[in-house]
Chains A and B, each alone.
Chain A
Amino acid sequence: MVKKWIERSYSGLIFVFLYAPILVLIIFSFNESRTRGNWGGFTLHWYADLFRDRQILSAFYYTLSIGVISAVVSTIVGTFAAVGIYNMRYLGQKTILNLNYLPVLNPDIVTGVALMTLFIFFNFRLGFLTLLLAHITFCIPYVILAVLPKLRQLDKNLAEAAMDLGAKPFYAFRKVVLPEITPGIITGALIAFTLSIDDFVISFFTTGSGVTNISITVFSMARRGVNPMINALSTIMFTTVLLLLLWINYRTNKEKEEDEDEKELQMYNVLGTAGDTLSDDDRV
């Protein structure tokens, strides 16, 4: 029982650590004063200003769309790439992997400037497409990094066994490999999305034609002082996502419980007293 308590307090502390700045951020979205140096009184006018600000709203739209699209594309390409790389021979594997890391270890400005130069060389007009391509480029390595460990963990024999039993390679992949690496894929997608919505430097140099994202908008305010409208936007985003998460979690668990209840009921009927053993096993 002590162990449980230690675990709880530890996670509690970590979560406090993660969320303390968020709380501060939210509180300051209601601050009348423009600076974070003092509290000027409670106000909602930053929220009102936010909804009238076309620039920020358009930046928000682009941030989300680029975020979602690059997360999806990089996850798909990255997952296939990870599987492919895993199955490559040593030398090829090493080379590809090392090249793969470059966007991760290069300072953002180097990646950003290099990509910008590349796009201009090929006569691309900087805008939504170039921004998207840049984001996908720096997201894929992270997806690969997330999926590869899962592949390593995989029992190679499983896929072979499936094929021995007559499954075609792609079917074996779909039904055997994919479910096992799914946690890695989801992690990869989450990380890709996170990186995309928070990127400034690479985005700044690879976008144009009025396409901008929240990070660019915020960092551009660095000289003047970040307008609390951004705090308001962040607060709204945060609360929306949080509520969404809690609601989805509640719904899926309700469904799961209902499903489980159904199954249990059936089991009780079929096995009678065996129901006792089952409820013990529920504690995974």
Chain B
Amino acid sequence: MKSRMAYPYIVWLSMFIVLPLLLILYYGLTAVDGSFTLDNFQRFIDPIYLRVLWRSVELALLSTAICLVLGYPMAMIIAKTEIKRRNLMVLLFILPMWMNFLLRTYAWMTLLGRNGVINNILGWAGLPELNLLYNASAVVLGMVYNFLPFMVLPIYTVLSKMDQSYIEAAKDLGANNRKVFWKVIFPLSLPGVISGVTMVFMPAVSTFVIPRLLGGGQLMLIGNLVEQQFSYVGDWNFGSAISIVMMLFILISMALMTRFDKEQQGGVGLW
């Protein structure tokens, strides 16, 4: 009965998500002349391309982990703030994301550059210059910066109205703060955590602007590769095949990650 509420979306989904997916599958499995072929996939099974995929997943995982570690405490802090200031904090947290992405990334380059703001400050303080730009760390920084709010917000929403009685019960039973956190709070917040991880990890794998600008074009990630195929080379077939492989890879990784959550508590679930 209530599940009927989803029907409008299911219609939408079949038009705007399934049809395009079929399109991509079609392109991936055909050659330029329209004939069926597995060549596009075969082309991808090549150490060079696989290395690109692996690197992207690595960096995305790292960024997601950092977002989680940095974001969870932040979500807790916001959830504990008095109601008066809470909403303001949430909005202030997301406000920077409303400024154009390219501008913010350029601003990071000004901050991180050799003669940039940070190095200038270090210079005044007599500290040595740091190589902060045009490497993998800069890319991770950029990704964390860009995706942090997407990790914090879902976790915060779950923490904000957490049933206090569980926590009180645990404390009454003699658990110290640490136990309360790991045994009660964290598991209860898992749905939010999984949403957060999903909203960060997936786009992080396929991002291409951040590696291009902050990585100085030195890192070829899968997002760049796909973009190159579709845009520069015009080889939609190969591009589609790469996307499909990437899709499967990510879905499988997510399934593995959510194995944590056996009882389907998180259940934003994959497989």
**A234, CB-defined interface residue at 8 Å:** yes
**B135, CB-defined interface residue at 8 Å:** no
The secondary structure that dominates the B interface is helix
**A43, CB-defined interface residue at 8 Å:** no
Residues on B with beta carbons closer than 8 Å to the beta carbon of A94: 269-271
Q: What 0/1 pattern do residues 1 to 45 of B give for CB contact below 8 A with A?
A: 111111111101100111111011000000000000000000000
Give min CB distance, A131 to chain B, whole Å.
Answer: 13
Selected from B13, B94, B222, B246, the residue in CB contact (under 8 A) with A96 is B13
**Which chain B residues numbered 243 to 271 have a C-beta less than 8 Å away from chain A?**
243, 246-247, 250-251, 265-271
Interface size for A (C-beta < 8 A) is: 95
Q: What 0/1 pattern do residues 69 to 83 of A give for CB contact below 8 A with B?
A: 000000001101101
**B131, CB-defined interface residue at 8 Å:** no
Residues on A with beta carbons closer than 8 Å to the beta carbon of B3: 84-85, 87-89, 92
Q: What 0/1 pattern do residues 228 to 262 of A give for CB contact below 8 A with B?
A: 00110010011001100110010001001000000
Let me know if A117 and B23 touch, CB within 8 A. yes
Selected from B2, B6, B21, B268, the residue in CB contact (under 8 A) with A149 is B268
Contact stretch, chosen from B46-54, B69-77, B167-175, B178-186: B69-77
Let me know if A238 and B95 touch, CB within 8 A. yes
Cβ-Cβ contact count across A and B, 8 Å cutoff: 274
Residues on B with beta carbons closer than 8 Å to the beta carbon of A85: 3, 6
**A34, CB-defined interface residue at 8 Å:** no
Residues on B with beta carbons closer than 8 Å to the beta carbon of A284: 82-83
Let me know if A88 and B206 touch, CB within 8 A. no
Selected from A104, A169, A184, the residue in CB contact (under 8 A) with B203 is A104
Selected from B108, B158, B199, the residue in CB contact (under 8 A) with A142 is B199
Let me know if B203 and A83 touch, CB within 8 A. no
Task: Give complex CA distance A218, B18 in Å.
Answer: 31
Let me know if A245 and B91 touch, CB within 8 A. yes
Let me know if B161 and A169 touch, CB within 8 A. no
Let me know if A231 and B95 touch, CB within 8 A. no
Selected from B6, B70, B99, B101, the residue in CB contact (under 8 A) with A237 is B99
Let me know if B202 and A104 touch, CB within 8 A. yes
**Which chain A residues numbered 128 to 175 have a C-beta less than 8 Å away from chain B?**
133, 136-137, 140, 142, 145-146, 148-150, 152-153, 155, 169, 173
Let me know if A103 and B17 touch, CB within 8 A. yes
Let me know if A145 and B99 touch, CB within 8 A. no
The secondary structure that dominates the A interface is helix
For B87, the closest partner residue in chain A by CB is A249
Let me know if B153 and A190 touch, CB within 8 A. yes
Assuming the contacts A109-B226, A245-B91, asked whether A104 and B6 have C-beta atoms less than 8 A apart, the reply is no
Residues on B with beta carbons closer than 8 Å to the beta carbon of A180: 161
Task: Give complex CA distance A28, B269 in Å.
Answer: 44
**B231, CB-defined interface residue at 8 Å:** yes
Selected from B4, B103, B191, B208, the residue in CB contact (under 8 A) with A84 is B4
Let me know if B74 and A10 touch, CB within 8 A. yes
**A211, CB-defined interface residue at 8 Å:** no
Contact surface of B with A, Cβ cutoff 8 Å: 1-10, 12-13, 16-21, 23-24, 70, 73-74, 77-78, 80, 82-85, 87-88, 90-111, 117, 145, 148-150, 153-154, 156-158, 160-163, 188, 191-192, 194-195, 198-199, 202-203, 205-206, 208, 222-223, 226-227, 230-231, 236, 239-240, 243, 246-247, 250-251, 265-271
Top 4 A-B pairs ranked by shortest CB distance?
A84-B6, A149-B191, A114-B20, A81-B9
Contact surface of A with B, Cβ cutoff 8 Å: 7, 10-11, 14-15, 17-22, 24-25, 28, 36, 77-78, 80-81, 83-85, 87-89, 92-94, 96-111, 113-115, 117-118, 133, 136-137, 140, 142, 145-146, 148-150, 152-153, 155, 169, 173, 180, 183-184, 186-187, 190-191, 194, 197-198, 200, 214-215, 218-219, 222, 226, 230-231, 234, 237-238, 241-242, 245-246, 249, 253, 256, 283-284
